[in-house]
């Protein structure tokens, strides 16, 4: 499903350099929800589990967008921050 033009951002850097804060500012500026996910809760040593966990995260974000779009809010998308 095409949602139109999107926004892809990859932050890189040492801990404490402001990556999460930059994501928060960017999400706020473009009026998108920001989902902050602890990467250690996603990654699994079992084959295929990491992929399942990532899929679940993005499905949840998409479901949240659909729910808000059906209400009074005009939602264009969401940002996911894996930390």
pLDDT of residue 8: 73
Give the tokens for residue 83: 């930390």
pLDDT tens per residue, range 17-66: 998 899 889 888 888 778 888 888 888 999 999 999 888 888 887 777 65
Q: CB–CB of 67/74 below 8 Å?
A: no
Say what the pTM is.
0.61
CB-count exposure of residue 33 (10 Å: 0-12, 13-18, 19+)? middle
CB atoms inside a 10 Å sphere around CB 27 = 21
Sign of CA dihedral 70, 74, 76, 79: negative
Kindly state the DSSP code that residue 73 receives in the 8-state scheme: S
């Amino acid at each position: 499903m095409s949602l139109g033009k999107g926004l892809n951002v990859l932050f890189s850097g040492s801990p404490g350099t402001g990556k999460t804060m930059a994501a928060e500012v960017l999400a706020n500026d473009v009026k998108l929800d920001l989902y902050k996910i602890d990467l250690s809760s996603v990654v699994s040593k079992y084959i295929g589990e990491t992929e399942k966990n990532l899929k679940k995260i993005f499905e949840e974000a998409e479901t949240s967008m659909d729910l808000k779009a059906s209400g009074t809010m005009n939602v264009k998308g969401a940002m996911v921050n894996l930390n």
